[in-house]
Amino acid sequence: MLDVKYYKDYRHNYLIIKDDGSLSEYVYQRKMMTENTIKGLLNCQERFINGEILLYYEITSRQSLFHIFDGKGIGMDELGSFFVQLKVVNDMLQKYLLDGSCLALSPEYIFQNIETGEYSFLYYPGSDEGSLSKLMDFFISKVDGEDMEAVEAVYKIADLINREQFVLDEVLRWFQDDISQRKKDNYFPYEMQFQNQKLSDQNQSDQAQRSGYRRESLDEEEGGNGEGKEPYESVMSQTFPEEKDAKEITRDFKKALPVLGIGISGAGILTYVMYFYQLSYKEEIYIIAGWVLMAVLILGAILWYLHPLLNRKKKIQEQEDTERERYYTPAYENNETVSDTDIGNTVFIPWTESYENKLYSMDKKIKCHIDLGSLPLTVGKLAGAVDMVIDEKSISRMHAKFFRDGNKIYISDLNSTNGTFRNGMRLAPNASEMIEPGDEIRLGKLKFIYR
């Protein structure tokens, strides 16, 4: 079993593995993985501390399969993307003459960038941490029961592995057929189409060079695949009717424009009269009165236009507060009640049932609460990847997870950038701590009180 711990510095999150004796034996593998950037593998650094060899794997902005699919099912898209990228990383290992059996195929050690969908695998020389059969057991337990294609594919692959007839290239043909159909329907994600096309070209190239070995530039294999990705739009960015406000301001300006034009024109005429004509004292009084009238018209037109702008900020803030209160409340509510008991008997009620089980925001600008009535619950700012979205700059895409163990509720940090805190103490990456009523929980810059 790997000796693993997590570490975070100012900019990076690391998974650290201590040498179990195999690193001294597999020197070639160790040097290849630490001296090269191999596509599909976690970037790795070798450090010598207190006479020991430590491998630092960078997991910044990545989450393990265990955390990603802890609260949601695995569909056909996710399965196809995983096996396509598993094929790519296996081909890269062959080019670097690395043993593919050293991939740690355990859900805790397979990471994904949840924004791009790219998988990164942990490679440890001489490791037997996690096999493909155990990984399929995880997929079976997490597969989306409503996606019948995914259910069928998972059980077929598991059966092939048990009968020792699993061939990755043949399995990928199932997904290629599914990809072709989805491409016709313009449904399948662009990234999967790109990777599938790359895989098809690579398979054709491999067949053409079976008779001999052709060495290619490794740099060509490590080209990026980030084109065509659409950024995730923040849900909160759609809550304010900015277009409507702009139309109202334009309408007010059109109404104020004639009045402003009259005032400016009148001021111009009065200036012309005063400059080119000799006026009597009485006429000068009339001119001054005209100037006052024009000034009132001009000032009134300006105020007519500026008044909506001055009130706009206050209006947006009120709308923001209302929308946040509505949006941050999950659809579920804790409807559990304590059953009645015989009169005269004292019944112990666990604090998780007697309390509200909610985190209330202590921030004056963001009035929201996190309902812990239905767990597990992941919190972050990337819509579609978490159960509850909090659109705030200090919140990571997947920031923290709340889960229940018996009658106790725990909070776990998910490699967040700005940290998860309990009563002022920062949680280590992927570490969990029990929370109790009265605890102060801080996610990034947002403070909550648990009640």
pLDDT value at residue 264: 83
Tokens matching residue 392: 């705030």
Over residues 174-192, mean pLDDT: 58
**Coil, strand or helix at 170:** helix
pLDDT value at residue 170: 83
Ramachandran bin of 397, using left for φ above 0, alpha for ψ from -120 to 50, beta for the remaining angles:
alpha
pLDDT value at residue 166: 87
Q: How confident is the model at residue 245 (pLDDT cuts 50, 70, 90)?
A: low
pLDDT greater at residue 195 or residue 304: 304
Q: How confident is the model at residue 322 (pLDDT cuts 50, 70, 90)?
A: low
pLDDT value at residue 237: 40
pLDDT in tens, 16-45: 999 888 888 889 999 999 999 999 999 999
Contact 232, 382 (CB under 8 A): yes
pLDDT greater at residue 294 or residue 111: 111
Q: Which of 112-126, 208-222, 301-315 reaches the highest mean pLDDT? A: 112-126
Distance CA 38, CA 434 (A): 39
Chain-centroid distance, C-alpha 381: 6
**Coil, strand or helix at 52:** strand
Non-local (6+) Cβ contacts of 359 within 8 A are: 369, 370, 372, 441, 448, 449, 450
pLDDT greater at residue 294 or residue 130: 294
**Coil, strand or helix at 357:** coil
Q: How confident is the model at residue 11 (pLDDT cuts 50, 70, 90)?
A: confident
Q: What is the chain's mean pLDDT, rounded? A: 77
The amino acid sitting at 353 is E
| Lowest mean pLDDT segment, chosen from 34-38, 227-231, 323-327, 434-438 | 227-231
pLDDT value at residue 222: 37
Contact 30, 54 (CB under 8 A): no
The alpha carbons of the chain give a radius of gyration, in whole angstroms, of: 32
Residue 441's Cβ-side half-sphere holds a number of Cα atoms within 13 Å equal to 29
pLDDT in tens, 328-359: 444 444 444 444 444 445 444 454 455 678 99
pLDDT value at residue 178: 64
Over residues 139-144, mean pLDDT: 93
Q: Selecting from 1.10.510, 1.10.357, 1.10.10, 1.10.3470, what CATH number does the domain 1-210 have?
A: 1.10.510
Strand partners, 446: 443
Distance CA 13, CA 274 (A): 76
Q: How confident is the model at residue 377 (pLDDT cuts 50, 70, 90)?
A: very high
Helix 148-162 to helix 168-184 angle (10° resolution) is 170
Strand partners, 422: 425, 441
Report the 10 Å Cβ neighbour count for 93: 23
pLDDT greater at residue 146 or residue 218: 146
Report the 10 Å Cβ neighbour count for 92: 20
Contact 69, 77 (CB under 8 A): no
Q: What percent of the chain has pLDDT over 70?
A: 71
pLDDT in tens, 73-132: 899 889 999 999 999 999 999 999 998 889 999 999 999 998 889 999 999 988 777 688
pLDDT value at residue 318: 62
Q: How confident is the model at residue 234 (pLDDT cuts 50, 70, 90)?
A: very low
Is the domain 351-450 a CATH 2.60.200.20 member?
A: yes
For the chain, the structural domain boundaries read 1-210, 237-327, 351-450
Query: Is residue 185 scored above 60 in pLDDT?
Result: no
Q: How confident is the model at residue 70 (pLDDT cuts 50, 70, 90)?
A: confident
Non-local (6+) Cβ contacts of 90 within 8 A are: 100, 168
Q: Which of 230-244, 324-338, 407-421 reaches the highest mean pLDDT? A: 407-421
Task: Name the pTM for this structure.
Answer: 0.59
Query: Is residue 291 scored above 90 in pLDDT?
Result: no
Query: Is residue 325 scored above 70 in pLDDT?
Result: no
Q: How confident is the model at residue 180 (pLDDT cuts 50, 70, 90)?
A: low
pLDDT value at residue 365: 79
Query: Is residue 184 scored above 80 in pLDDT?
Result: no
